[in-house]
Structure 1
Amino acid sequence: MAAQTENQIELTQDPSSVYFLHPSDNTGMKLVNTPFDGTSYGNWKRSMVIGLTTKNKMSFVDGTLIKPVLTDHKYKFWSRCNSMITGWIITALDPQIAASILYVDTARAIWLDLEERFGQASSAQLYALEQGIFQISQDTLAIFEYYTQLKKIWDEIDNLKPLPKCECAQCTCNITQKVLKLQQDQRLMFFLMKMSNEFANVRSHILMMDTLPTLQQVYRMLLQEQRHKEISKLTVQEPVAFAGQNNFRQFPNTGYQGLPKFNRTFSAGKFNSGTGSTGFQQRKINYFCDHCKIPGHSKERCFKLIGYPPGFKTNQQRKFAACTTTDTTDESQSIKESSDNGDGSQSSNIYVE
């Protein structure tokens, strides 16, 4: 008797046992995020199978665990687990659907009832899924979004209408693999037809192959091509932005901005491009005397302050000579005067790149 009691305690406390229940388990626990409302039964069933398998309770609904007789010592453990699983299923259903199975005794019976009502594939369901596929095209979608939408519908179709399997003993024809390959090739063609022309080169390369790759392999190829295009765009944009920053910079002490780099020379107040053609006209560099108010010299070289040199012409002759002086001589004299700092040193205010 003591050995039997010890065996029962170990059975309920062993995590590997189907009768084990964690202290945190309760009937209100949600195994799926979205309750089943009568649509997409295949997706809901798949989520429930994952949850029940994780809890090691799938045998209670798939029929692999037989209900113990009332006199069996395992009956109370089975009854406890059955009630817990029934609560999980009810919580995962819409209230209206849950009300219709509330008085069903076992979790297995509930599972079969839902399968009978919602699990049978109908022509209307297959028609809606096939119609949804033909309405999908890549257009502006990313590759992963386009592929995900198609795969979701294809998985639902496979769940409602799975491919036939060969049941022959020791079969050597591999008919199942051939049918599966045929289905994959058809889906690959549809995937390529609905793809945008941005990947036309990749599509042509795939169609020229002797043996068509799988849909997953093509998906990876397109992802690599998409990343390559993104990197190429960034590589092209960076030099353009860098050139724009260099071409529109301020040259020191000249006021010159803007134009692209080339051989720039200044001659007689003119800007030359170095190609034989003359660019824009640079404003003449004039010097203005604050004392006599006459341009062409600075205050430090004004003859009225430092004295006239011997043989200096009269004022009328000086004005006439100034009018006949070339622009080159005036600016050369002006630049020479501006370069003299008064202490014997010279500095240039013109920067040529």
Structure 2
Amino acid sequence: MIKTWLRNVIDSKLHPSITFTLTVAETWDELKDRFSAGNAPRVHQLKGELNECKQGRLSVVEYYTKLKTIWDELANYSKVPKCTCGAAMMMAKEREEEKVHQFLMGLDTALYGTIRNNLLMEDPITSLTRAYALILREERHSNITKVKEEKQEAAMTTRFYGAGRGR
């Protein structure tokens, strides 16, 4: 029954190559060997993207989302050993710290250099979610300050030109 299902879902051009397999396992192994591509090229590509990922003109939310997307896909290719000795937990903690460093390294230094340095001074290093929340709060504060300054500048310009025209 499963062999029939496999034949029905695969391209009909492949049927002759699996016609003489005796078991479903043989059919599956034949197809897997022929069509499964190694993950190394994709992992390499993702690690390259991660290495090149910088905030640039992106907002903190957009930048973090871009990083998180890459991290999540990389996690799909990663194999964490199952153990009772605590090594898997140590590996997860190390990966979390690596993500914090990657996130902080890609931030705009002019905007977030001070808060980045403060976060790096913490011992132990802060969690990724906390670092993200603090940087996001800093971005929002900076945006509010920027809007206030722009409004004050516009008001001063209006007063200056308005006073000059009245003469």
Flag whether TM exceeds 0.5 (same fold).
Answer: yes
Gap change, CA 1:146 and 1:249, over 3 Å in 2 = closer
TM-score, structure 2 normalization:
0.73
TM-score, structure 1 normalization:
0.38
Q: Which residue in 1 is equivalent to 2:54? A: 137
- Superposed CA deviations along residues 95-116 of structure 1, whole A, max 9, x for unmatched, are xx74566798xxx989887766
Gap change, CA 1:141 and 1:100, over 3 Å in 2 = farther
Question: Which residue identity does 1:163 align to in structure 2?
Answer: V
Match of 1:188 among 82, 100, 107: 100
Question: Which residue identity does 1:230 align to in structure 2?
Answer: N
Q: Which residue in 2 is equivalent to 1:146? A: 63
CA distance, structure 1, for counterparts of residue 29 and residue 61 of structure 2: 36
Query: What does 1:241-252 correspond to in 2, within 5 Å?
Result: 241-249=154-162
Gap change, CA 1:159 and 1:228, over 3 Å in 2 = same
Match of 1:222 among 127, 135, 142: 135
Work out whether 1:205 is the aligned partner of 2:122: no
Q: Which residue in 1 is equivalent to 2:144? A: 231
CA distance, structure 1, for counterparts of residue 158 and residue 59 of structure 2: 33
Q: Which residue in 1 is equivalent to 2:91? A: 179
Q: Which residue in 1 is equivalent to 2:21? A: none
- Contact kept, 8 Å, 1:121 with 1:160, in 2: the verdict is no
Query: What does 1:314-353 correspond to in 2, within 5 Å?
Result: none
CA distance, structure 1, for counterparts of residue 128 and residue 15 of structure 2: 44
Gap change, CA 1:204 and 1:256, over 3 Å in 2 = same
Question: Which residue identity does 1:211 align to in structure 2?
Answer: P
Q: What displacement does 1:214 show?
A: 2.1
Q: What displacement does 1:144 show?
A: 2.0
Gap change, CA 1:137 and 1:250, over 3 Å in 2 = closer
The structure with the larger Rg is 1
CA distance, structure 2, for counterparts of residue 225 and residue 174 of structure 1: 36
CA distance, structure 2, for counterparts of residue 145 and residue 113 of structure 1: 42
CA distance, structure 2, for counterparts of residue 237 and residue 195 of structure 1: 24
Q: What displacement does 1:208 show?
A: 0.8
Q: What displacement does 1:176 show?
A: 1.6
Q: Which residue in 2 is equivalent to 1:156? A: 73
Q: More helix by proportion, 1 or 2?
A: 2
Q: What displacement does 1:187 show?
A: 2.1
Question: Which residue identity does 2:48 align to in structure 1?
Answer: Q
Match of 2:45 among 128, 149, 156: 128
- Contact kept, 8 Å, 1:129 with 1:153, in 2: the verdict is yes
- Structure 2: runs of 5 or more not aligned: 19-23
- Structure 1: runs of 5 or more not aligned: 1-66, 68-81, 91-96, 258-353
Question: Which residue identity does 1:191 align to in structure 2?
Answer: F
Gap change, CA 1:137 and 1:98, over 3 Å in 2 = farther
Q: What displacement does 1:124 show?
A: 2.6
* Secondary structure, counterpart of 1:211 in structure 2: coil
